[in-house]
Structure 1
């Protein structure tokens, strides 16, 4: 929402927003405490279940990794980001609270974070197996608060070293940024050269060959096919003229023609089968 309101995304360009965005600050901190596994927020219950399960399974490395992850999350999301984004040096930004629909969405999420953290039983009821876990024991609360408070102490002591710098942090976007650059190089260099070579071959070899083939085909069509068609047409016309002469309308003439045809066929048959 800060990006939506200010149009800025770098911590070096943000600061002093708590004056004009107090509701956003409060709702953000609820989410930050929840994701950092702060007591009385949802993350405290859910992460505690995972850490306790790893401990019961004697997975010390998993417990250590999850504890360090909670500390790192609180350092980054619960301390560094809100400090420099909302309470850092004033940058003169003309910011205001985001639209109401965004605030309502954040408010609903914040309410769930608090409700699950204070009353975890409905969450337990949704799980597929019976849950026998108590998050709010003295030892567990003390341990979690100790980790978080020591993280906050480290943030205060090393605040100068944590000052944001105007650089680009490497993230997974590096892969598609570099991949896009390689793709553009491939499209502009090898692929474009290949397309140009194909176009040159097409213009210098293929198209002239097609034109010559078309000319030859045209000549064959005009001098061969058309000539045969015209000859057949002339023969048909000539035969039609002959038949028209034979059509006298006299029955005796037709009878004589039939007799002559039979005699001619008989002679041909006798000669062939001799």
Structure 2
């Protein structure tokens, strides 16, 4: 059985990606940071549908813990699937801090940097020896890094996500000798828990976002999760180094 690691799989896009990947017959290691109940719910939904999943804690903002996490991954692979390697990595975990450029503190900037860019960079580096040749990586970026998605208050967030888009292309080039494909998906406005459940706290912003989306609704986690699962699948075997917008035509 193939195995995927999905970071931030306790809710939202990560949870959906884990479930959609499992529906294709792939085992999943679901990481979480703080929301253990959400990760357990993800695992339960996968196992109830006949799949196999395990939840492991991971603090993406603390790169010093990545070696120990990699050791737990190997132990989990052996105990659960009887193998020492995995096939797919989805760098999804993240956070969002909204502040206009003049109000963005160095502390907030560094926190975003650790979680959104440094974390995926060095986690991927740490796990790379355990990723099989011919495997695949999907990084979750954002339309905040593109021309159409520029929104005041997201300068730090968009900067980190833009860096992740560039990293995607470099990884695709450098890892191509091992047959590893690397792509990213850029969601538009999507109903997740990001920014402290912003859409639940401020539902009044939704109509304006819907009005700017060609397909006429707010994105849902499954819209992105299905795209991630498809990029990992054999049908996408000739796609690499691409940042694919999954936004329903936001600001088209």
In the superposition, the TM-score normalised over structure 2's length comes to 0.25
By percentage of residues, which structure has more strand? 2
In the superposition, the TM-score normalised over structure 1's length comes to 0.23
For the pair shown, which has the larger CA radius of gyration, 1 or 2? 1
By percentage of residues, which structure has more helix? 1
